[in-house]
Amino acid sequence: MIVEDNIEVRSFVKQIFEVNHNILEAENGKIALKLAIKHVPDLIVSDVIMPEMVGTELCSQIKENIKT
């Protein structure tokens, strides 16, 4: 999963990984958390400063949830 509020950066990172991997995208931590609970990705690459929920809060919530 790629979590990045800047669409150009998110698209660039996606292009690098999508050749060999299925990619989920989220524009902020709040959306990413919902996707992570639903799909349980193997890896999350996240920006730190984003609207709605910052990357550090996303990381904390991912670590606290037994599903993720």
> What's the pLDDT tens digit per position in 27-55?
999 999 999 999 999 999 999 999 999 99
Look at residue 10 in the predicted model and tell me its pLDDT: 97
Q: What is the DSSP string of 7-64?
A: HHHHHHHHHHHTTTS---EESSHHHHHHHHHHH--S--EE-SS-SSS-HHHHHHHHHH
46: number of Cβ within 10 Å: 19
Per-residue pLDDT band at 19 (split at 50, 70, 90): very high
Residue with tokens 């698209």: 11
Per-residue pLDDT band at 58 (split at 50, 70, 90): very high
Does pTM top 0.85 for this prediction? yes
Look at residue 49 in the predicted model and tell me its pLDDT: 94
Q: Which long-range contacts (CB under 8 A, 24 or more apart) does 6-12 make?
A: 6/47, 9/47
